[in-house]
Structure 1
């Protein structure tokens, strides 16, 4: 999609109610796995910040630390680049700790492969990945989403933190952009 693409319609794919229910279900799955084990939940900025906030507030782990990382590979384009840039690193020492990376969308998998390899080199006790949307059909790198909110095969989606050229992040649901 071109940066100057004109939007004909924003078609709802997942409603705010569907998202809220699924976030609670994911939190229950994550709580079941980790219990009260020490956990570092890492938000991948910018896209995952709303999902991360809702998910973190739904978790019951009192031994959880929160941190943030920022990667970029898209720029202002709608297609992934294999070149991943680390713009902001975590500040918490993850050595020997369970780490849950929280991402908005995993499609090609290149960014998450980069991140998981980086965390593995720091000797995290375990590494798992939660993603609001898993576009598994587009996967090119060897990455498994351990906690997938929704699976989606196609469509350029925005809302609930996801953007197109920094727009549409604050939509309460997830919508597909239908171009003119």
Structure 2
């Protein structure tokens, strides 16, 4: 899908495919440097992180292992329920490993804060966070994010793994969704 396929559904494009790829390359170079000589496990948070996880893994020049986790705090609505559930847990033992959580976006930070604490309780050597997008205005908790692709406005965004009602994930860019779509 491209912007012409969903033009009527978007308010504006916030980050093009080219901008996303350029930023991932920059962050991958920093990650390669930061973890040089160490084994790194990258943990993608399903479903949104699929696109960024794949692109990040391909951009890295060092060996990494990968695992996936799915957590939910939304239930059936668009507002967090405040209760985090593990839907799919890791298959990898984290004991002594360097872990990099890979997220598509950080809004309130509540779920990610819980997830980081959960993974830290499993005995890893380190746990850091990578997010492609972050909404600083939406933050409800302070969370240390080592790698940030881009800060964006506190708007409803879709594309590059981000969805509305399971649609728009396959857009190669990120745009703000027009209010008439979700109102």
Same fold (TM over 0.5): yes
| Closer, same or farther: CA 166–76 of 1 in aligned 2, 3 Å | farther
Structure with a larger share of its residues in helix: 2
TM-score computed with the length of structure 1 as normaliser: 0.91
Partners in 2 of 1:24 and 1:53 — Cα distance?
A: 12
Which runs of no fewer than 5 residues in structure 2 stay unpaired? 1-6
Aligned length: 173
Q: Within 1, Cα distance between the matches of 2:74 and 2:54?
A: 23
Q: Could you list the structure 1 runs, at least 4 aligned residues long, displaced by more than 6 angstroms after superposition.
A: none
Task: Indicate the residue corresponding to 1:116 in structure 2.
Answer: 116
Q: Could you state the TM-score of these two structures normalised by the residue count of structure 2?
A: 0.90
Listed one character per residue, the Cα deviations across residues 89-141 of structure 1 (whole Å, up to 9, x for unaligned) are 11111111100000111111111111111111111101100001111221112
Between 133-142 and 37-46, the greater mean CA deviation after superposition: 133-142
Q: Distance in 1 between matches of 2:75 and 2:161?
A: 16
The CA RMSD over aligned residues, in Å, is: 1.4
Q: Determine if contact 1:8/1:179 at 8 Å carries over to the other structure.
A: no
Q: Deviation per CA, 1:71-90, whole angstroms, max 9, x where unpaired? A: 11124433333211110011
- The equivalent of 2:33 in structure 1 is 32
Could you list the per-position Cα deviations for residues 134-172 of structure 1 after superposition, in whole angstroms to 9, with x for gaps in the alignment? 112211123121100010131110001110111110011
Residue correspondence of structure 1 range 1-180 to structure 2 within 5 A: 8-10=8-10, 11-62=12-63, 64-180=64-180
85-94 vs 69-78, greater mean Cα deviation: 69-78
Q: Distance in 2 between matches of 1:120 and 1:49?
A: 22
